[in-house]
Homo-oligomer: A and B are copies of this chain.
């Protein structure tokens, strides 16, 4: 439920807020450009721009950072993006199915063709109406893309290759987050061998993690997502110049003092070993603060990092504020749950959730502020 349209602004004062700094997103995009020495840098904006809001993020990247190429997962996401950016190049990763062809044409969308059936479907369209397309060769993630056998067949089908207006050939890395994984070099070698057959067509292999694997992985176009949104896509160190572009602030609803032996939250999973001050915050798992933070999450209040105690409820969490001078803290105080002080990397480490899942988990109940 998004409150943006139906509830007046003043009511937002009582809600938790998600602030998104578009200039930091642009900064991160430009840093990706630098990391690749000026190769074309597309933007992954599927899943509502990783939850950050495609209607704001995509225009910022297009108009302020000259990003021209965008990837989304589904046709519906692509149509939405086309309404926002009439001029952008838009690729649809899920491929194309027969009932969808007319909408690809009408909206000038480029399918990422994932198998020979889709290639034949696209070939059957009259050439003057047909947008360009990408061909996705699977090199080992076994999710979408032409299998090795289909790849050989496609490469040998010279007339099919000539008829399709192929604007990009691509593959996708399975283990780019782990620079030491031998699968990266295997996928790189396989993709390089494929590219030899398409000397005049731009090639793309690298997601955010692939960018950090180095120039061999960059080819002609890179496709960052998480890096643009301030996460670390690698088990290695975070690039120093990446900024955190978002901050989630909850509010304290109530503060209580509890005695030794008293518990907090459902299931009574946390018990006070001595008297403690507990703040109840207005964010829970229905806002995308998962129960994997039960008894292990951290929040940031007035300069102090403080622990989540007890289970995360649907709409609330408990925080032990005893170490933060409770005299300074009261109801309606702001509480950072994710942002510059509680980064995706930190949240991922304590929860064991991936940074991607935490980021895209951000939900609709927040008041959203774009700066």
Contacts and interface: CB of A to CB of B under 8 A. Distances in A.
Interface in A224-246: none
Contacts of A286: 46-48, 50-51, 360
A15 interface: yes
A134 to B, nearest CB: 15
Specify how many copies of this chain sit in the oligomer.
2
A322 to B, nearest CB: 14
Nearest to A173: B266
Contacts of A95: 253-254
A343 interface: no
B183 A268 contact: yes
Given A103-B11, A144-B280, A254-B114, A360 B46 contact: no
Contacts of A114: 253-254
A124 interface: no
Given A3-B80, A11-B79, A83-B6, A360 B174 contact: no
Nearest to A316: B143
Contacts of A331: 97, 117
5 contacts: A47-B315, A73-B315, A74-B315, A142-B262, A175-B267
A274 to B, nearest CB: 15
A177 B11 CA distance: 34
A285 interface: yes
Interface string A267-303: 1100000000010101011100011100000000000
Given A47-B286, A266-B175, A254 B144 contact: yes
Interface stretch (A24-32, A196-204, A351-359): A351-359
A54 B54 CA distance: 25
Interface string A1-25: 1110011001111110000000000
A151 to B, nearest CB: 12
Contacts of A257: 147
A143 B363 CA distance: 22
Interface string A76-120: 110110010000000001110101100100000000001101000
A224 to B, nearest CB: 14
Contact of A174 (B79, B143, B178, B268): B268
